[in-house]
Chain A
Amino acid sequence: MLSCTDLRKTYGATQALRGVSWQLAPGEVHALCGENGAGKSTLARICCGITKPDAGEIRFQDRPATWSGPAEARRAGVGIILQELDLFAGLTVAENIALGHPRLERHSRVKRAELHRAVQPFLDETGCTASPATPLGELGIAQWQLVAIARVLSLDARVIFMDEPTSALTDDAVERLFSLIGRLRSRGVAIVYVSHKMAEIFRISDRISVMRDGELVASSHRDETDIATVIRQMVGRPVAPRRAPPPLSTARPVLDARGMCTRKLRDVSFTLSAGEILGVAGLVGSGRSELGRALAGLSPLTGGNLSLLGTPFRPGGVREAVERGLVLVPEDRREGLVLDMPIRQNLTLACLDRYARGGWILEREIPAATAMRDRCRVRCQDDLLPVTSLSGGNQQKVLIGKWLLPSPKVCFLDDPTRGIDIGAKDDLYLMFAELTAAGVAVIWASSELPELLANAHRILVMREGRVAGVLDAATADQESIIHLATGNTR
């Protein structure tokens, strides 16, 4: 159906693809995995016409494919659902689907009812429950994704690329997506599933291709391989299985929260000891991120009190929290990093006044930043390059490094490993272990339960802004966490 021969692409100094030859058969679900920077996103974008390769050839349905842009590729039958969905919140569902569609676009100008009728079958096929007249801004991310898929379907796609489709979905939305994929497959549509999540990949794909450092390392049938092999192929080195953290020797309370209330939180209480990792689990919207924002002073406390290291603590703002020793590493890298600024400057931004005198920045900023960079194992050529030049995993490390530089006592990590490849994740787990060994207390909010179970001492489960329960990680399992998170009691 779709085949690439010897594709090459270079961005500046980086070689994203070094001669990749790859095939996609009709009606198959094909997984594409690799670490960040391995080239899988680049491959996907080239195949969908978003970027042009420097060399090499693409053939679609046995004809050479030379598209001028993604719109043309979409019309030819090859579509992509990007992670940053290219849809418009200000338009309705129907208008979004009609964008760029040769036939439907004419409708959108004149007869709205006709447009809605034309668009409905595609919405039904994807299982999207929103009505065509709904403005996209009112819908959640899961629906956005379905609308994007409907758009691609409306152009009679034969190949659909999906880039990390489940990273922002809840479990039932994921199930719905998988059944949609199954339906599409039986219609003969080929799906390319770009992802990190081993469990999902092994569940739905027919074939698995692994990329590393711009090359296609392996392309095998699902039954011919297993998770460990794939991981090894991705990383190029064996990855040790995750170990449980060492139990706490003494319980020295560092943070004590009683009855915390904000606009979204109700009566949250817990204690945290030095060197402990407290995982925070819960569904999307349960208040995990809000807890972090409240502790850091970004969401005002309407009730309850906190005490940090024995003294009462009323966070009036991020600066105050940092001075007291509590930092928040936000969920979205774009809220944490100034992307065009050099790596070194991002690292010191949270505590720059410690490396300055009278407002003047001192030379000793440089070794401090370098030391933190190495401690976080950030892989970069020159730390004066802007942060955008790094891969996602390395950017995340810079973000965490920035917040470790002020030597905090308590660190709230909001989904620190989201969208990061296995190799970088491993580095981060090691880093957190080192942190706690040094006595720092960590609160780790995550949507990946296996990760929390493997790394945390205790897990705080949140539901609708309240604490649903606290479990001991050694004895808990995914089911018990989900039961607390959803409110189902057995």
Chain B
Amino acid sequence: MRLWQTLQRAGRPFIGLVLVFLLGLILSPRDSSGMLIFLTAGNLSDILLQQAEIGLIALAMTFVIIGAGIDLSVGSVLAASASRAAVLLVRWTPELPLALHLAIAILGGLGVGAAVGALNGVVITRLGLQPFVMTLATMIGVRGATRWFTDNTNIDFGFGAAASSRFAAILSDKSLVITLWVVFAVIAHLVLTRTVYGRYLRAIGENERAAAYTGLPIRAVRIAAYTACGALAALAGLIHAARTHQGNPNDGVAYELDAIAAVVIGGTALAGGRGTIIGTVTGTIILGLLTNTLRLRMVDSNVELMIKAAIIILAVWLQRRDRAFPVSP
């Protein structure tokens, strides 16, 4: 019963998901045995794997946007985390057991992300910089820093028994990555709907003055949202590094836009206050299904971008609420 209620409240994005899925079925090519390629377990799980990085970033971005903020630095953080982990795995050879080496590399990457996120949060709340401006600055600065500490070279992972190769094998495993996404999505949903923090975040995002008058811890809530965003972007970076088998300081460009697109398609308003995790996950999957439908039919990849743009406009237009005039003065 609870689940059905939750799905109902997800509303329009969910309908969109169903429709896009149907489209995928209709347009899917068939393989030699007549089965719809789109519908095969392998293809569907491919989609989830391919969307996992954006999916994780979008989860955290939802929090930031609900709090009436925005984070443009996630793409750069992804690259920084991937590169930091790569440096620790490839250029550092300590006499440590493999598990510890891997753990340090993972924590190194996550730490970078959390640190950048915290920096964003602190400057935005204490110095009063606009989120767009501050995260634009970190986007540029972190990219520069990443290129600097890697000498602007890609750090390839090894193959075989090297630590970096084991790292890549573990973190590119399809089941692990999809599970991570699901787990974090569930956690994010619960935090947003069932905790004090989630309630405060919504109130602050929708009406900051009322939140101040109510005595809510505005700074702490916002800093936490940005820190989480940085950390999740860093996690996406680790997964990205494992998948591409390298740490590339120039990766992740424009990922923030894909994440924001997923959040917006899922029904979260950029003005703050409204938004659901289910919506964001739905939005992420919608984008993945569309890309996959087009790729299965070998449509030019530039067309993908135009379709994506059309989807964003469509989704936001459909979700404009018909606001009645307030009845009372």
Contacts and interface: CB of A to CB of B under 8 A. Distances in A.
A391 B202 CA distance: 23
Nearest to B215: A318
A345 B325 contact: no
Contact of B211 (A50, A163, A338, A360): A338
Interface in B181-218: 194-197, 199-200, 202-203, 206-207, 209-217
Contact of A349 (B203, B209, B324, B325): B203
Contacts of B200: 352
Given A334-B210, A340-B273, A350 B196 contact: no
Given A340-B206, A340-B273, A349-B203, A16 B327 contact: yes
A341 B327 contact: no
Nearest to A357: B196
B329 A361 contact: no
B326 interface: yes
Contacts of B207: 334, 337-339
A441 B216 CA distance: 24
Contacts of A330: 213
A331 to B, nearest CB: 10
Given A50-B325, A164-B329, A395-B328, A340 B274 contact: yes
B327 A361 contact: no
A51 interface: yes
Interface residues of B, number: 27
A108 interface: no
A172 B196 CA distance: 48
A306 B100 CA distance: 57
Contacts of A334: 207, 209-210
A37 B196 contact: no
A83 B324 CA distance: 17
Given A330-B213, A350-B214, A350-B215, A338 B203 contact: yes
Contact of B324 (A11, A163, A321): A11
Given A298-B213, A317-B215, A350-B215, A36 B329 contact: yes
Interface string A241-270: 000000000000000000000000000000
A335 interface: yes
Contact of B328 (A41, A317, A341): A41
A322 interface: yes
A352 B326 CA distance: 28
B206 A339 contact: yes
B215 A319 contact: yes
B327 A42 contact: yes
B329 A345 contact: no
A353 interface: yes
Contacts of A345: 199
B79 to A, nearest CB: 33
Given A335-B213, A349-B214, A361 B328 contact: no
B55 to A, nearest CB: 25
B188 to A, nearest CB: 14
A220 to B, nearest CB: 24
Given A338-B202, A341-B206, A391 B215 contact: no
Centre residue among A50, A330, A340, A419 by max chain B CB count within 10 A: A340
A3 interface: no
Given A334-B209, A339-B206, A391 B195 contact: no
Contacts, number: 95
Interface in B267-309: 273-274
A395 B329 CA distance: 11
Interface string B53-96: 00000000000000000000000000000000000000000000
B202 A359 contact: no
A392 interface: yes
Interface string A385-408: 000101111010000001000000
Contacts of B324: 11-12
Contacts of A317: 215
Given A37-B327, A41-B328, A338-B210, A361 B215 contact: no
Contact of B199 (A11, A322, A352): A352
A11 B329 CA distance: 15
A392 B124 CA distance: 35
A336 interface: yes
A45 interface: yes
A438 interface: no
A328 interface: yes
Contacts of B211: 338
Contacts of A419: 329
Centre residue among A341, A391, A395 by max chain B CB count within 10 A: A341
Given A341-B202, A359-B197, A361-B199, A335 B210 contact: yes
A381 to B, nearest CB: 14
Contacts of B213: 298, 318, 328, 330, 335-336
A446 B206 CA distance: 28
Nearest to B198: A361
Nearest to B193: A361
Nearest to B324: A11
Contacts of B202: 338, 341
A356 interface: yes
Given A298-B213, A340-B206, A37 B194 contact: no
Nearest to A84: B329
A340 B194 CA distance: 17
Interface in A297-352: 298, 317-319, 321-322, 328, 330, 334-341, 345, 349-350, 352
Given A298-B213, A395-B328, A349 B206 contact: no
Given A334-B209, A336-B210, A338-B202, 7 more contacts: A12-B324, A37-B327, A45-B325, A163-B329, A350-B215, A356-B196, A359-B195
| 4 tightest Cβ-Cβ pairs between the two chains A and B | A318-B215, A392-B328, A11-B324, A319-B215
5 contacts: A14-B327, A164-B329, A341-B273, A392-B329, A393-B328
Interface of A: 11-12, 14, 16, 36-37, 41-42, 45, 50-51, 83, 163-164, 298, 317-319, 321-322, 328, 330, 334-341, 345, 349-350, 352-353, 356, 359-361, 388, 390-393, 395, 402, 419
